[in-house]
Amino acid sequence: MRAEAGGRRRAFLLVELIAVLVIVGSLSCISLQTLSNSQTRERRIILNEAKNFCTWMKHRMALAARESVEFRVMLTQNTDRSYEVTIIWLGGMKNLRHEIYSFDEAVLAYEGVRELIFSGRWFTLTPAATFIVKSRKMPEVRYFVTIAGTGYVDIKDKL
């Protein structure tokens, strides 16, 4: 600011305003970059979780097909409204054994019937299902895992 004769300053100098704008602009660029990096990192983590879930399901489906047995897929809801996937084998070497899949960094969301049946003999899941694997920290980061009735498993970022 410029000083008047009485010692009071009247206005900011242009240089002072430019300096403040440069500082504010730099800080906002840094914060946007940090936010962008954290969202990219979160997307990568959730995609890995979705891939791990797909691999787990594909492995169980292949094992059921090899032995021509069925398994029941049951979804149990936790207190945080996320789901765990429980497989109960119906026949074969693992008859009536349970396997549970739970997520580390993600939560599983699902709308539909709570019990699905996979037939290894026909390689079908009844009914087909789409699970939503989403971030605990950033719910907008999510992937859709679809298991079609024909035993096809796929990951998509949009429906």
pLDDT in tens, 4-43: 555 666 777 888 888 889 899 888 878 777 766 788 889 9
Q: Give residues with Cβ within 8 angstroms of 39, minimum separation 6.
A: 138, 141
Give the model confidence (pLDDT) of 91-136 as tens digits: 888 888 999 998 888 999 888 888 999 999 998 999 999 999 999 8
Asked if 124 and 118 touch (Cβ cutoff 8 Å), the reply is yes
Tell me what pLDDT residue 9 has: 65
Tell me what pLDDT residue 29 has: 78
Cα separation, 85 vs 74, whole angstroms = 6
Asked if 69 and 90 touch (Cβ cutoff 8 Å), the reply is yes
Tell me what pLDDT residue 12 has: 73
Instruction: Tell me the pLDDT band of 67, cut-offs 50, 70 and 90.
Output: very high
Under DSSP, is residue 19 helix (H, G, I), strand (E, B) or coil?
Answer: helix
Average pLDDT over residues 44-67: 94
Under DSSP, is residue 32 helix (H, G, I), strand (E, B) or coil?
Answer: helix
Under DSSP, is residue 31 helix (H, G, I), strand (E, B) or coil?
Answer: helix
Domains of the chain by range and CATH?
A: 45-156 (3.55.40.10)
Percent of the chain with pLDDT over 90: 43
* Count of Cβ atoms closer than 10 Å to residue 57 Cβ: 22
* Encoded tokens for 114: 């709570």
